[in-house]
Amino acid sequence: MAGRWAAAAGITVAAVASACCPSIAYLGTLKVEVDTSVAGEVEVVEACTTAGTKCHESTTRPAHDGPWIVEGVAPERDVLLVRLLDASGAVLQQSRVEPDWREVGGESWCGGPQAATVDVRRDA
């Protein structure tokens, strides 16, 4: 009888412990500061893997000179390729960046969403 209670207690503890942290992967928000000399020409900002095989696009234009926001970026990436595109999809600027990801929510034991800000400057 005691063995059944111990087994039941173990299942309960395991269920409670696993319920503490969500079983999702947190994604990051990348804020991209754009060089003002090209800001008026930019229609879309992309954050891509360095191979360019997976990209996330900005969803809205920033107000005035504010940063472009790209959601859904995997924060475990140490290096990203950020592209500034014009209305036709042509690349105005492309830069390799190393975001400094910081937690912006969640709990310390579970992790949480992260954010980073990077500057993209026009090549001289």
* pLDDT tens string 40-93: 889 999 999 887 788 999 988 887 778 899 998 888 778 999 999 999 999 998
Domains annotated on the chain, with CATH: 24-120 (2.60.40.1120)
Residue 62 confidence (pLDDT): 85
Residue 121 confidence (pLDDT): 72
Residue 10 confidence (pLDDT): 47
Q: Answer yes or no: are the C-beta atoms of 58 and 68 closer than 8 Å.
A: yes
* pLDDT tens string 8-30: 544 444 444 445 776 677 788 99
Task: Tell if the pTM clears 0.85, that is, is over it.
Answer: no
Residue 56 confidence (pLDDT): 92
Q: Answer yes or no: are the C-beta atoms of 56 and 94 closer than 8 Å.
A: no
